[in-house]
Amino acid sequence: MANKPSIPKGTRDFGPTEMAKRNYIFETIRSVYALYGYQQIETPAMETLQTLMGKYGEEGDRLLFKILNSGDYFKSITDQELTERNTLKLQTKLCEKGLRYDLTVPFARYVVMHRDELQLPFKRYQIQPVWRADRPQKGRYREFYQCDADVIGSESLLNEVELMQIIDTVFTRFGIRVVIKINNRKILTGIAETIGEADKIITITTAIDKLEKIGKEKVNEELAQNGLSNEAINRLQPIIELQGSNNQKLDTIASVLAESETGKKGVDETQFILHTLENTGLKNEIQLDLTLARGLNYYTGAIFEVKAIDTEIGSITGGGRYDNLTGIFGMPGISGVGISFGADRIYDVLNTLNLYPNDSVSGTQILFTNFGTDETRYIMPIIATLRQAGIRTELYPDASKMKKQMTYANAKQIPFVAIAGADEIKNGEITLKNMLTGEQTTLSPTLLLSTLQKTPI
């Protein structure tokens, strides 16, 4: 007996209904991006490991899906190297490519390769899948879509303000209540300097970024294991526990970071963004969260993260400022800032809260029954006219029994069925059946079209 087929853990199939919902998500995000002047690009699913490695930190490198070289990939490996089982050394010889981990690094590579074709600042959006060799769990998948928007070639903080407006608009359209969290990596750098551990900024940000997941005690344990002194850990506690309004937090942290030029700059940038947003009519809360770190190493300024209020699912959008990401590809000094909507998590939130609009799953509006050659010859021009008018129309392909055709219409939740038999053909008419009420009416093809156009489906 053949093994039952399966898919890899952390991946999902999506049927027609699910795809209709996902397309609603993509089209909503795409339409908002277009409102703000963003243009769409795409990059390959595969990138060279030279492009990907070293851009996401040690954990990110570990989670990269690596692709075996084609052909005899063992030809450059010695027996001794196989016996030593040095994974890192072996993978550099066995694998030259990997699946993209996110869309930002490929975008930076794209900018460098196409620099002569681009008008800076360049505003792009990209909606494509990414892959991470993570442990699958609720809301965390190995294959998932990101919906990115980035501005590169501008240091203006108005870009950050605009991205916050995009986030607010998208989630308002979805009907999802969210809190938009903001912090600044310069503030975190200032904190590291103030507690006397400036050289451990990556260790500190990586640890406190897990605060919500593992709790303060575990974070402190991780900090101690990575070499932070007890004094530094104790000095960090009141900062990460800071409460109050955004302005109160800013005032307090500005005082704490008074001796750090980098920290003060982070406070000033955050203050500008928050104050500018006050007059833009946002529908969702903006919250300064000094524990927000965003684990990716390339962030250098403002960082963002979005959480749904009415369901527990983790971050559903994130992003931030990166000052020199293109520098690693030979194009230094180009600043950028971007956000990424997690389409798969948004999909789960919309399902959990039942927030999809009725017309988001736009199936067939009318099914024409099939009784044979003469009947189909009669209805084909009518079907063509309905489709030209934008009515989603199906013809049942086989001349089957009426019960089978009606069962098909019910299974697909098609609201109307059109019937054309000998009497209808003789009189130049169509019988229209409302599948919800069971009511039947006989109409001319012209009246059929106008009836369907007036009926909200």
Q: Which residue has the tokens 């524990």?
A: 291
> Per-residue confidence at 139, pLDDT binned at 50, 70, 90?
low
Q: Which stretches does DSSP call E strand in 249-342?
A: 285-288, 302-308, 315-322, 336-342
Q: Is 299 annotated as a binding residue?
A: yes
Work out the average pLDDT over 190-217. Answer: 78
Residue 294, marked binder:
yes
Distance CA 240, CA 263 (A): 15
Q: Which has the higher per-residue pLDDT, 178 or 71?
A: 178
Please tell me whether 437 is known to bind a ligand.
no
> Hey, which residues does 140 pair with through a beta bridge?
137
Per-residue pLDDT of 308-341, as tens digits, reads 999 988 889 999 998 887 888 888 888 999 999 9
Do strands 416-419 and 430-434 pair parallel, antiparallel, or not at all (unpaired)? antiparallel
Domains and CATH numbers, the chain: 16-46+112-353 (3.30.930.10), 363-454 (3.40.50.800)
Residue 85 in tokens: 């089982």
**141 marked ligand binding residue:** no
At residue 450, does pLDDT exceed 70? Answer: yes
What is the tens place of the pLDDT at every residue in 156-201?
A: 999 999 999 999 999 999 999 999 999 999 998 888 888 877 777 7
**pLDDT value at position 237?**
79
Predicted local distance difference test score (pLDDT) of residue 88: 66
Question: Is residue 298 marked as binding?
Answer: yes
* pLDDT for position 141: 87
Contact 392, 343 (CB under 8 A): no
DSSP string, 184-219: EHHHHHHHHHHTT-GGGHHHHHHHHTTHHHHHHHHH
- Helical segments of 209-293, H only: 211-225, 230-240, 246-256, 261-277
Is 135 flagged in the annotation as binding?
A: no
Instruction: Please indicate whether residue 47 or residue 324 has the higher confidence score (pLDDT).
Output: 47
Window from 89-98, 118-127, 311-320, 415-424 with minimum mean pLDDT:
89-98
209 is in an annotated binding site: no
From residue 453, give the alpha-carbon distance in Å to each of 65, 80, 358.
49, 74, 17
